[in-house]
Amino acid sequence: MRKNLLFICLLALCSCDEVLIEENRRIEVKGTLRSVENEPLTGFNIFAAGSRNGDLSMNTDKILGRGTSNNNGSFEFISLDTYSHGFVLAINPVEIENSENHASAYFYDATGDHSSNYDLGEFRLPRKIDFQLDIRNVSGTSDTLRYVMDFQRPVLRYIYQNGGFVENDEGNNYISIRQHTSESDPVSVNLQLLEASEFEFAYRIGDSPLQEVSISVDSENNSYELEY
The DSSP string of 76-143 is EEEEEEESSSEEEEEES-TTSS--TTB-EEEEEE-SSS--SEEEEEEEE-PBEEEEEEEEE--S---S
91 with 105: CB under 8 angstroms?
yes
The pLDDT score that the predictor gives to residue 13 is 41
Q: What are phi and psi of 9, to 5 degrees?
A: -65, -40
Q: Give residue 14's pLDDT band: very low, low, confident or very high (50, 70, 90).
A: very low
4-18, 54-68, 134-148, 175-189: which has the minimum mean pLDDT?
A: 4-18
The pLDDT score that the predictor gives to residue 7 is 37
Residues 74-111 pLDDT 10s: 999 999 999 989 999 999 999 887 889 999 999 999 98
Residues 158-199 pLDDT 10s: 999 999 999 997 767 889 999 999 999 999 999 999 999 999
| Residues whose CB is less than 8 angstroms from the CB of residue 28 and which lie 6 or more positions away in sequence, other chains included | 76, 77, 78, 79, 116, 117, 118
The domains found in the chain, sorted by start residue, are 2-124 (2.60.40.10), 128-154+173-227 (2.60.40)
